[in-house]
Chains A and B, each alone.
Chain A
Amino acid sequence: MTIALAVPDLLVARAKSGDLEALEALYRAFETPVYNVALRMLRSPEDAEDVLQETFLEVVRSIKQYRAEGHLWGWIRQIAASKALMRIRRNQVRATDELHEEAAAGPGGSAIPARIDLERAFERLSETSRAVVWLHDVEGYTHEEIAEQMGKTVSFSKSQLARAHARLRGMLDDEGAAQ
């Protein structure tokens, strides 16, 4: 998603001083983009809403430290991605990501509906794969940045991306073959 949100400096200054109206204005400006980053990385809308809430709590607590180096959206997105990745790690404690991917694929792990579009196919990837694809291909993060945020290696990020694209390609090919 391309975000071109310009926030007036005066609004940021008021938010830094703790003005709740200004903070709400920031929330309203970035609510949808933050929710969408979280939603694409995570499986459930509820998790994405929780990340939205956690992100803005962090924004409110930390905005005094925001030095206007780069776009405000970049700073907020970094917080949102970090919160979403923390949630993915928490979810992985409950079950392995691999099992999630298989479960999402249906019984037997390979039951793909006859028709599936890219959005549905993307939703069938594991949370880790979704996070890597979304951050790299849509948000423009480098593998180095993803590796740092995930606490993994660059080669992990690269292999997750390749694996995810191979899986997307396979699912979409199945769709083409079924038509």
Chain B
Amino acid sequence: MMHCTMDDLLALRGGEASGWARSHAEACPTCRAELDALYQRVAQLRALPARRPARDRWPAVREAVVAERRRRRWRG
């Protein structure tokens, strides 16, 4: 039996699947489970914990900005 490809599953998620993929996924428990797993993976990715940068980069940004302003003033 032919099952949905990953392209089909992504198209199903995006609401742009072919008629065949839509009717197949409705009837096929394996493909429905694959689609559920896809939704779960994406939900888990969205829930990944936020990381913080190890170093504070603001002083470098500030220094570059101040240097640019100084150069502009010198050029008048």
Chain A residues packing against B (C-beta within 8 Å): 1-2, 18, 20, 23-24, 27-28, 31-33, 35-36, 39-40, 45, 48-49, 52-53, 56-57, 60-61, 118-119, 122, 133-134, 137-138, 158-159, 161-163, 165-166, 168-169, 172
User: Smallest Cβ distance from A26 to chain B, in angstroms?
Assistant: 10
Using Cβ atoms and an 8 Å threshold, which residues of chain B touch A28? 58
* Distance between Cα atoms of A61 and B68 in the complex (Å): 10
Q: Is the CB of A24 within 8 A of B62?
A: yes
Using Cβ atoms and an 8 Å threshold, which residues of chain A touch B42? 137-138
Q: Is the CB of B54 within 8 A of A166?
A: no
Using Cβ atoms and an 8 Å threshold, which residues of chain B touch A137? 42, 45-46
Known: A133-B45, A168-B41, A169-B37. A162 touches B60 (CB 8 A): no
User: Smallest Cβ distance from B13 to chain A, in angstroms?
Assistant: 9
Apart from A23-B65, A32-B51, A168-B41, what are 18 other A-B pairs with CB-CB below 8 Å? A1-B50, A20-B66, A27-B58, A28-B58, A31-B52, A32-B50, A35-B51, A45-B53, A48-B53, A49-B53, A52-B57, A53-B57, A53-B61, A118-B41, A122-B45, A134-B45, A137-B42, A162-B10
Using Cβ atoms and an 8 Å threshold, which residues of chain A touch B38? 165, 169
Q: Is the CB of B6 within 8 A of A165?
A: yes
Q: Is the CB of B51 within 8 A of A36?
A: yes
Using Cβ atoms and an 8 Å threshold, which residues of chain B touch A163? 6
Chain B residues packing against A (C-beta within 8 Å): 5-7, 9-10, 34, 37-38, 41-42, 44-46, 48, 50-55, 57-58, 60-62, 64-66, 68-69
Using Cβ atoms and an 8 Å threshold, which residues of chain A touch B65? 20, 23, 57, 60
Using Cβ atoms and an 8 Å threshold, which residues of chain B touch A49? 53-55, 57
- 29 cross-chain CB contacts under 8 A: A1-B50, A20-B66, A23-B62, A23-B65, A24-B62, A28-B58, A31-B53, A32-B50, A33-B50, A35-B52, A40-B48, A45-B51, A52-B53, A53-B61, A56-B57, A60-B65, A61-B68, A118-B45, A118-B48, A122-B45, A137-B46, A138-B45, A159-B7, A162-B6, A162-B7, A163-B6, A165-B38, A166-B6, A169-B6
